Chains A and B, each alone.
Chain A
Amino acid sequence: MKGIRGISQLSERFYAAARSGQSLVQPMAVHKLSTRAAHSYQDVHVTRLPSGLVIASLENYSPASKIGVFVKAGCRYETPDNQGVTHLLRLASSLTTKGASAFKICRGIEAVGGSLSVTSTRENMIYSVDCLRDDIDTVMEFLINVTTAPEFRPWEVSDLTARVKMDKAQAAQSAQTDVVEGLHAAAYKNALCNSLYCPDHMVGNIQSDHLHQFVQNNFTSARMALVGLGVDHTVLKQVGEQFLNIRSGAGATGAKAQYRGGEIRLPTTSSLVHSVVVTEAAPADTLAFSVLQHLLGGGPYVKRGSNTSSKLFQGASKATADPFDVSAFNVGYSDSGLFGFYTISQAAVAGDVIRAALAEVKAVANGEVTAADLTRAKAQLQSQVLMSQETSEGMLEAIGTQALAEGSYHTTEEISKNIDNVSLTDVANAAKKFVSGKKTMASSGNLIKTPFVDEI
């Protein structure tokens, strides 16, 4: 009868009480773990196949799964005769493949409520799909098709020209994009100077052959990583072994990025001047530069707040009363990096703001940093790392970039420890490197009062 049945289930119903003392992130004691599960539930599993492909997965028990294919095929691997091919490749992700037509890809993914997107950075190309857990097979098929068996039909590729133009127009709407692209073009002689967007002279001149060649040279197993969130590791390994072993070898190696330190000025009619001043930052000093970035001020933490923790902001606020923004700029690649500061100011006071920001960095280089500031900066960096992994997109990117670059995954505890080990001298040395290094500058806006790089 109902009453008696209810009583016998009491022990299961009071599971909160039964869990006394047991961590809530571990499964209940009544559920026995399979002996083959060598790792615990929440670890990131990373395997490197003999072909060089890296498989990484994390079981996050989410009802939605995310799978990404990370390829070392960013725009740094473009050659001078196929500049802009990565932009086309990004747009060509929805075109016909050998196993599925463009229509089938779109309808098939839509039918399960998933989404397919491509993100390209200067180093990597990231193809990611997300869907509900049960529909992984369907979207995986499309993902494999798109990454390994594209057809790049000539008429479909030529139809993308309009999209390229629209992409460029949309990107040109924000001054930040122009400045960042200009900065890279001015700072490097090769590889990293290539733009994420197709240059004007190549719009309409990228053909299907360019795309095929680029894929042949760069989409090899040794340069790819298959990452999944909410996917079983064995399933992912099977897929990697069966389908992603198409091209072996390391492919074309990219040239080492050569920093040259230049200047680029983009005059526009805007009354706001966007300006960025950087020097080269070696990858070995990444952590020190990241701590320095937060020490100086890495952006607003409180909406419409007064940015009291940002040294750059406080310094620049003494130089002008008009609206402005200044934050530290830090970007790192596998063999190089850029560190500096980014300012947005009114045209008349641009020079003052830039010089004030530089003065702040010089102060840090001279050691005028308190221990409290350092702990604050470290805490801010740690929280940013952790918060960026709160979303599935951030998590996928974190796992994927690490798997691709190093073939392993550093847990957040390791990273937190490394951050803690950064000392005041490391930070001061990093600041000194910036102050004394060869600077690159990129500015856009009404540049009447903006100094040249040798004048600041």
Chain B
Amino acid sequence: MMSIAARNGVLSSYLQATKHAVKNLGFGAKDVLTKSMLSIFFPGPAGIRLAHTDVRIPDFSDYRRTDVIDPNKSSQDSSEGRRVFSYLVTGATTVVGVYAAKTVVTQFVSSMSASADVLALSKIEIKLSDIPEGKNMTFKWRGKPLFVRHRTEKEISAEADVNIAELRDPQHDKDRVINPSWVIVLGVCTHLGCVPIANAGDFGGYYCPCHGSHYDASGRIRKGPAPLNLEVPYYEFPDDETVVVG
């Protein structure tokens, strides 16, 4: 008594029907469709192969490069041109993209810096014709008092003749002013920060009432507890009539 395969030879696969409930292709699928004549004598693992000849692939030629549409033409001839074009476009896009990114980032980051109203207060423009000779005017600048003094000739020459070696903070007058007839200093006493009074004191300049510091007409400390001269801010004369401080 022999098995079905041994007895029936080539037609044994048609004398039985198999259904695979759970199929592990490694163990081989013995179906009528996959059995070839030879596999009966030399059986081995085989899977079911199905050919899907009804799959339709749409025509994409509208979207393809004209150089490569013809399947019979070698694509090597156009490859360099295509490559250069692609790289150029990529490169240009990258450059533009980087620039755009940098702009966006700087805009966001700079939004955290000082706002316009704060920046506006950082400079002050003063009309010089409002200040008569010998007069000292006080302005509020960056939260601090700013002294603008129109000096007389007598004061200018007196300050220029002062012996620097006697000064606590030696500075020549010409180092402290751009135009000798205008002296612009911060009205903050360098001792403890009070506001000195103009045209007071023993030296014809300023006098700080808090602890008795005497400054001269150039803002230099002459007598009293203050260690340094009055600070000179940055200023410039855009024309003869105005000065911009800061």
Contact = CB atoms under 8 A, between A and B. Distances in A.
A331 B8 contact: yes
B4 interface: yes
B124 interface: no
B193 interface: no
B22 A388 contact: no
Contacts of B30: 119, 393
A122 interface: yes
B23 A119 contact: no
B52 to A, nearest CB: 15
Interface in A336-391: 342, 384-385, 387-391
A293 B8 CA distance: 9
A420 interface: no
A94 interface: yes
B1 interface: yes
Contact of B18 (A109, A117, A415): A117
A59 interface: no
Contact of A330 (B7, B24, B33, B40): B7
B49 interface: no
A171 interface: yes
Given A397-B5, A398-B6, A115 B23 contact: yes
A327 B10 contact: yes
A388 B17 contact: no
B27 A64 contact: yes
Contact-size category for B = 20 to 34
Interface stretch (A40-48, A215-223, A297-305): A297-305
A119 B5 CA distance: 13
A394 B5 contact: yes
Contacts of B11: 176, 180, 327, 329, 331, 342
A116 B6 CA distance: 23
Nearest to A301: B41
A450 to B, nearest CB: 19
Given A174-B14, A197-B17, A405-B1, A384 B28 contact: no
Interface residues of A, number: 64
A384 B41 CA distance: 7
Given A91-B19, A94-B21, A113-B24, A327 B9 contact: yes
B38 A303 contact: yes
Contact of B21 (A118, A300, A397): A118
Contacts of B86: none
Given A116-B22, A121-B4, A384-B41, A87 B17 contact: yes
A332 B1 CA distance: 10
A290 B11 CA distance: 14
A90 B17 CA distance: 9
Nearest to A109: B22
B164 interface: no
A174 B1 CA distance: 29
Contacts of A117: 18-23
B9 A384 contact: yes
Contacts of A330: 7-9
B26 to A, nearest CB: 8
A385 B2 contact: yes
A402 interface: yes
B3 A394 contact: yes
A99 to B, nearest CB: 15
Nearest to B18: A119
Contact of A120 (B14, B16, B41): B16
B15 interface: yes
Contacts of B9: 293, 298-299, 327-328, 330, 384
A405 B4 CA distance: 12
Interface in B10-56: 10-11, 14-24, 26-28, 30, 32-33, 37-38, 40-43
Interface in A267-312: 286, 290, 293, 298-301, 303
A449 B18 CA distance: 35
Contact of B28 (A114, A118, A393): A393
B29 to A, nearest CB: 8
Given A114-B24, A115-B27, A327-B9, A402 B16 contact: no
Nearest to B45: A391
7 contacts: A91-B19, A116-B21, A121-B16, A122-B15, A130-B27, A290-B7, A387-B41
Given A176-B14, A176-B32, A330-B7, 10 more contacts: A64-B27, A87-B17, A114-B22, A116-B22, A117-B20, A119-B17, A120-B18, A196-B16, A330-B9, A331-B15
